[in-house]
């Protein structure tokens, strides 16, 4: 193993060179982080919050000390076409007194105070680390509030220590199921699909919905980007679920398949290839000559529009080396393919919460010497980016300054993306962003001073 000095012994099983084993079985993933490691990962609460937060007309009340609420205030830049309630921060701001005497009374009062000022349809109550420890029964509080006010008040049990971010995704999915589960199942399905796992960052949900409209497929519910309580409740009537962020939403899709008899397919709208493939698969899944021919025509039209534009970037990008460190496996996979379209080789790829299947697929896509790592820390990222000579890193907020300090270009493919990166237009934006960052004049300025 290379870079041995930079790797905690406990971490060695979470880092693989692609040649080691062909089926992903060799990598240790979906495990707790190692104590003392500067993990880039978040917690159970964070997982639950990022999935539910884009529900625009929900009041998200965080039951716990102020931090959990303040750090997730408007956390992901999900856009809304209507309500803006979700962009405010509501919390019980638990104090020492509450920790000693219990926080239930304060939570009840907080719900009352929301109800006194507004007319919500839906409230989520998040239980953070200490809520379970001090023994607050948030389920009972939520039930009582539902009875008192006749609205949905849904508990989200998400103590930070109770697993990884993925556990939080599950908690969020359970909350969604609790919201959308109808008293009686709809007999007849509507012709249309739910979109699962797009959070409308920079308006990406709107792009996907526009594409569906163009190929003649009706979107029923967005889960959860730019969604509302009422829209979500229509979800059980859909005939098909499209699962984009597989890491967070496969669990929900499976539940909906079991309970509502809605099959699902995994899709990705990152990159021309994946977008086109996904649209064709949606068309075939829905079926019908008209939709299939419409889809083919639409893909053709969009490809004809964007590929010549993308090719203009190619001369700037070809032969560069990319490093990827993102949240989930599915995005990493799309990114590898997208880089390939530009002739960029992925030399390092890692995720915070990828599964064994994700890593197996990743391994099949990358070169033999590509480094694959799960739940990496900055020292590992630094060491491998330098060793592999990466020209650009794709990651999130904590990775950005690290890349810049190393003199490596950067593209935010997480909460802080400011331009949509999904769909054909998104591919163009992505090309433009990585080109701008890799070929910025700032690198010349830096070179004059040192290097």
Partner 1 sequence: MLDLTPKEVSERKALRINPLKTCQPVGAIYAALGVHNCMPHSHGSQGCCSFHRMFLTRHFKEPAIAASSSFTEGASVFGGGSNLKTAIKNIFEIYNPDIIAVHTTCLSETIGDDLVTYITDAKIPEGKIVVHTNTPSYVGSHVTGYSNMIVGLINYLSQNTGEKNGKLALFPGFVNPGDMREMKKIMTLMGVEYTMLPDTSGVMDAPMTGTYNMYPKGGTKVDDIKDLGNCELSIGLGEITSIAPAEFLEKKCKVPFQSLPLPIGVELTDQFVMSLNHFSKNEVPYALEEERGQLVDILLDSHQYTQNKKVAIYGDPDTVLGLAAFALEMGMIPKYLTTGTPGKDFEANAQALFEKFGVEDCVAKSNVDLFLLQQWIKNDGVDLLIGGTHGKFLAKAEDIPFVRAGFPILDRYVHSYLPLVGYKGGMRLAEMILSALMDRQDRDCEDEDMEMIM
Hey, which residues between 50 and 69 contact partner 1 (CB under 8 A)? 61, 64-69
Q: Tell me which of 3, 28, 73, 340 binds partner 1, using CB under 8 A.
A: 73
Residue 160 touching partner 1 (CB under 8 A)? yes
Query: Which ranges in 287-328 belong to alpha helices (H)?
Result: 289-317
Residue 151 touching partner 1 (CB under 8 A)? no
124 or 264: CB nearest partner 1: 124
User: Nearest to residue 71, comparing CAs of 135, 126, 142?
Assistant: 126
Piece of the chain touching partner 1 by CB under 8 A; list 17-25, 32-40, 216-224, 259-267: 32-40
8 or 360: CB nearest partner 1: 8
Cα torsion angle, 32, 124, 203, 278, sign: positive
Residue 337 touching partner 1 (CB under 8 A)? no
Cα(349)–Cα(384) distance, rounded to whole angstroms?
A: 10
Relative to beta strand 371-374, strand 15-17 is antiparallel
Residue 149 touching partner 1 (CB under 8 A)? no
49 or 345: CB nearest partner 1: 49
Residue 90 touching partner 1 (CB under 8 A)? yes
Q: Tell me which of 404, 419, 432, 439 binds partner 1, using CB under 8 A.
A: 404
Cα(338)–Cα(343) distance, rounded to whole angstroms?
A: 9
Q: Tell me which of 60, 76, 106, 345 binds partner 1, using CB under 8 A.
A: 106
Residue 436 touching partner 1 (CB under 8 A)? no
User: Nearest to residue 60, comparing CAs of 127, 146, 133, 139?
Assistant: 127
Q: Which two tokens stand for residue 218?
A: 């009706």
Torsion angle in degrees (nearest 10) through CA of 15, 16, 22, 24: 10
User: Nearest to residue 320, comparing CAs of 393, 387, 379, 383?
Assistant: 393
Residue 307 touching partner 1 (CB under 8 A)? no
Residue 14 touching partner 1 (CB under 8 A)? no
Residue 446 touching partner 1 (CB under 8 A)? yes
43 or 173: CB nearest partner 1: 43
Piece of the chain touching partner 1 by CB under 8 A; list 100-108, 179-187, 294-302, 308-316: 100-108
CB atoms within 10 A of CB 321: 18
Buried b (16+ CB within 10 A) or exposed e, 117-148: eeebbbbbbbbbbbbbeeebbbeebbeebeee
6 or 259: CB nearest partner 1: 6
Piece of the chain touching partner 1 by CB under 8 A; list 195-203, 233-241, 258-266, 402-410: 402-410
Residue 72 touching partner 1 (CB under 8 A)? yes
Alpha carbon 207 to chain centroid distance?
17
Residue 87 touching partner 1 (CB under 8 A)? yes
Least separation in angstroms between residue 330's CB and partner 1 is: 21
- Tokens 């590509």, residue located: 370
Angle (nearest 5°) at CA 96 between 95 and 100: 120
356-385: which residues touch partner 1 (CB under 8 A)?
378-379, 382
User: Nearest to residue 344, comparing CAs of 383, 314, 301?
Assistant: 314
Cα(102)–Cα(94) distance, rounded to whole angstroms?
A: 9
243-302: which residues touch partner 1 (CB under 8 A)?
none
- Could you tell me how many residues of this chain bind partner 1 (CB under 8 A)? 83
Least separation in angstroms between residue 160's CB and partner 1 is: 3
Residue 441 touching partner 1 (CB under 8 A)? no
Please provide the size of the chain in residues: 451
Piece of the chain touching partner 1 by CB under 8 A; list 141-149, 198-206, 222-230, 403-411: 403-411
Q: Tell me which of 51, 52, 79, 107 binds partner 1, using CB under 8 A.
A: 107
């Amino acid at each position: 193993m290379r870079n041995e000095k930079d790797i905690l012994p406990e971490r060695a099983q979470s880092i693989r060179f692609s040649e080691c084993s062909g089926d992903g079985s060799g990598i240790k993933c979906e495990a707790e982080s190692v104590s003392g490691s500067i993990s880039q990962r978040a917690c159970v609460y964070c997982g639950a919050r990022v999935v539910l937060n884009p529900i625009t007309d929900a009041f998200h009340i965080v039951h716990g000390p102020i931090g959990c609420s303040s750090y997730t205030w408007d956390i992901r830049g999900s856009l809304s076409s209507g309500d803006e309630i979700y962009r405010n921060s509501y919390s019980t701001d638990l104090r020492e007194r509450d920790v000693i005497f219990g926080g239930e009374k304060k939570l009840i009062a907080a719900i009352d105070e929301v109800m006194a000022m507004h007319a919500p349809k839906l409230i989520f109550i998040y239980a953070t680390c200490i809520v379970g420890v001090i023994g607050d029964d948030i389920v009972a509080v939520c039930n009582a509030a539902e009875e008192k006010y006749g609205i949905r008040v849904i508990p989200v049990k998400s103590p930070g220590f109770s697993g990884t971010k993925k556990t939080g995704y599950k908690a969020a999915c359970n909350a969604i199921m609790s919201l959308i589960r109808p008293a009686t199942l709809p007999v007849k399905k509507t012709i249309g699909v739910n979109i699962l796992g797009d959070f409308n960052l920079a308006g990406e949900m709107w792009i996907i919905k526009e594409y569906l409209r163009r190929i003649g497929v009706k979107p029923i519910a967005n889960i959860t980007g730019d969604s509302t309580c009422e829209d979500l409740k229509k979800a059980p009537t859909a005939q098909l679920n499209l699962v984009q962020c597989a890491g967070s939403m496969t669990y929900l899709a499976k539940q909906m398949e079991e309970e509502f008899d809605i099959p699902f397919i995994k899709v990705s709208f990152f990159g021309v290839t994946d977008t086109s493939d996904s649209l064709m698969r949606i068309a075939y899944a829905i079926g019908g000559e008209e939709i299939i021919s419409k889809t083919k025509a639409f893909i053709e039209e969009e490809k004809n529009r964007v590929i010549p534009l993308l090719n203009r970037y190619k001369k700037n990008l070809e032969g560069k080396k990319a490093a990827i460190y993102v949240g989930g496996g599915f995005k990493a996979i799309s990114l590898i393919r997208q880089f390939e379209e530009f002739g960029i080789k992925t030399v390092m790829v890692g995720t915070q919460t990828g599964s064994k299947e994700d890593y197996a697929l990743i391994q099949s896509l990358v070169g033999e010497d590509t480094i694959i790592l799960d739940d990496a820390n900055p020292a590992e990222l630094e060491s491998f980016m330098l060793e592999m000579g990466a020209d650009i890193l794709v990651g999130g907020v904590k990775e950005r300054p690290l890349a810049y300090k190393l003199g490596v270009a950067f593209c935010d493919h997480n909460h802080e993306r400011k331009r949509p990166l999904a769909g054909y237009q998104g591919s163009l934006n992505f090309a433009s962003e990585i080109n701008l960052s890799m070929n910025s004049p700032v690198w010349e300025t830096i070179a004059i001073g040192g290097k």
